[in-house]
C-alpha cells in the first residue's frame, strides 16, 4: 500500500515538473524584444510620393501637382489680385486657372446670388479647400471651385476637352486635396511663387494689365 502511495506521489511530482518546464519554454519564446531608448519615439514625416512637386505661392498657399504639369505665375498690376496661376500639362490639352483676389462677399454662398444655378450641371457641390468651406459646380467643359477666406476669393477653374475630362479632373482633385495655407511673404500683392523642384517648371510671365 505504501509503495502505491509513493509511486502516486512521484508521478504527481513528475507531472507537475513537466507542466512547469513547458510553461517556462512558452514564456521564453513569447517574450517581447527589448526596445532601445536610443531611438526616437516617432519617425519624421517623409514625402514618399514620386512624380509630384510642391508649389508655394507668396500669397500664402501651397499645393502639389504632377511632374508633367507646368505652373505659370502671372505678374498682375492690380493690388486686388494676390495671385494668378495658369496650370498646363505637357501631355494633354486643357488647363487650370487658379486665382486669389480681394472680395467684399460676406460668405461663399453669396457668390451664387447673381448666377443662374439652374444652368449648372449636377448643381452645386459642397467641399473643403484646406480648412475652409468651398463650392464646386460645372458649366459645359469647365469645373469651377470657389472658396472664401477673410476677404480673399479663391477660384480654381479647370477647362478641358471632352476626351481629357478624367485626366484634368484627377489633377484638379489633387490640387484641391493637397491645398494648404502657409504664411504669406511680405509682398502679397505681387503674383509669383516657387517650386520645390529646380527643373524650372514654374514660369513667370510678363506683366498683365487687368482692367
Contact 117, 106 (CB under 8 A): no
**What's residue 20's pLDDT?**
66
Q: Which fold has domain 52-208?
A: Protein Transport Mog1p; Chain A (3.40.1000)
Residue 38: pLDDT over 70: no
Give the three cell numbers for residue 122.
449636377
Q: Would strands 202-208 and 69-76 be described as parallel, antiparallel, or unpaired?
A: parallel
Residue 86: pLDDT over 50: yes
Least confident of 32-36, 71-75, 122-126, 199-203: 32-36
Residue 4: pLDDT over 70: no
**What's residue 50's pLDDT?**
72
Helix (H, G, I), strand (E, B) or coil at 125: strand
Contact 143, 136 (CB under 8 A): yes
**What's residue 183's pLDDT?**
94
What pTM did the predictor assign? 0.68
**What's residue 42's pLDDT?**
29
Residue 28: pLDDT over 50: no
Phi and psi at residue 97, in whole multiples of 5°? -110, 130
Burial 10-30 (b: 16+ CB within 10 A, else e): eeeeeeeeeeeeeeeeeeeee
**What's residue 137's pLDDT?**
95
What would you report as the CA-atom Rg of the chain, rounded to the nearest whole angstrom? Answer: 31
Q: What is the pLDDT of residues 151-183, one digit of tens each?
A: 999 999 999 999 999 999 999 999 999 999 999
Residue 205: pLDDT over 80: no
**What's residue 34's pLDDT?**
32
Identify which has the larger pLDDT, 191 or 78.
78
Give the three cell numbers for residue 101.
483676389
Residue 35: pLDDT over 70: no
Q: Would strands 95-102 and 194-195 be described as parallel, antiparallel, or unpaired?
A: unpaired
Amino acid at each position: 500500500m505504501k509503495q502505491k502511495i509513493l509511486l502516486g506521489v512521484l508521478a504527481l511530482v513528475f507531472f507537475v515538473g513537466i507542466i512547469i518546464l513547458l510553461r517556462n519554454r512558452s514564456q521564453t519564446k513569447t517574450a517581447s524584444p527589448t526596445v532601445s531608448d536610443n531611438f526616437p519615439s516617432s519617425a519624421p514625416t517623409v514625402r514618399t510620393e514620386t512624380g509630384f512637386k510642391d508649389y508655394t505661392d507668396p500669397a500664402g498657399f501651397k499645393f502639389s501637382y504632377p511632374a508633367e504639369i507646368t505652373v505659370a505665375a502671372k505678374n498682375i498690376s492690380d493690388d486686388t489680385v494676390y495671385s494668378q496661376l495658369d496650370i498646363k500639362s505637357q501631355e494633354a490639352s486643357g488647363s487650370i486657372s487658379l486665382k486669389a483676389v480681394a472680395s467684399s462677399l460676406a460668405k461663399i454662398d453669396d457668390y451664387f446670388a447673381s448666377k443662374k444655378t439652374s444652368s449648372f450641371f449636377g448643381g452645386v457641390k459642397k467641399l473643403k479647400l484646406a480648412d475652409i468651406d468651398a463650392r464646386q459646380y460645372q458649366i459645359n467643359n469647365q469645373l469651377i471651385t470657389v472658396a472664401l477666406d477673410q476677404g480673399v476669393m479663391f477660384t480654381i477653374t479647370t477647362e478641358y476637352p471632352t476626351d481629357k475630362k478624367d485626366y484634368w479632373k484627377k489633377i484638379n482633385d489633387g490640387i484641391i486635396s493637397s491645398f494648404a495655407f502657409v504664411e504669406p511673404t511680405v509682398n502679397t500683392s505681387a503674383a509669383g511663387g516657387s517650386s520645390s523642384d529646380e527643373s524650372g517648371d514654374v514660369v513667370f510671365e510678363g506683366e498683365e494689365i487687368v482692367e
